[in-house]
Amino acid sequence: MNSYRDLEIYKESRRLALDVHRMTLTLPKFELYEEGSQARRCSKSVTSMIVEGYGRRRYKKDYIKYLIYAHTECDETNVHLDFLFHTGSWKDELFFNQLTRDYITLSKKINNFITWVEDNL
């Protein structure tokens, strides 16, 4: 692995953050700066924390700490997506279900990667 860009969790978190970003720009105006802004920031933080942790990978505890932050941001993103959908601000049920599943899968992958780092580095 030569770069954080080689990590599957990085690739997936980046793709999902871009999906969330694009989706939130279609929300009603009052949600753009409320729940939409929070969803954008959380989704992008997943990717940022993976990158920051990778940069600190020589220090195992720091690496794990930032991966845990990424895991937390991943789960928080799902909460904001849930609020947007269940308050009626976001109406695309198929896309909501897909993003929710994708974030649950990413959460599991990050958790598995944390375990791998704990056991192998």
How far apart are alpha carbons 8 and 53 in whole angstroms? 14
Angle between helices 35-55 and 60-86 (to 10 degrees): 160
C-alpha distances (whole Å) from 22 to each of 29, 47, 104, 114 are 14, 16, 19, 29
Residues of the chain with pLDDT > 70, as a percent, come to: 100
List, in order of start, the domains of the chain with CATH numbers: 4-120 (1.20.1440.60)
pLDDT of residue 1: 72
pLDDT of residue 28: 95
Mean pLDDT to the nearest integer, 32-58 = 96
pTM of the model: 0.94
How far apart are alpha carbons 53 and 69 in whole angstroms? 9
Top-confidence residue, 112 or 2: 112
- Would you place residue 81 in the very low, low, confident or very high pLDDT band (cuts 50, 70, 90)? very high
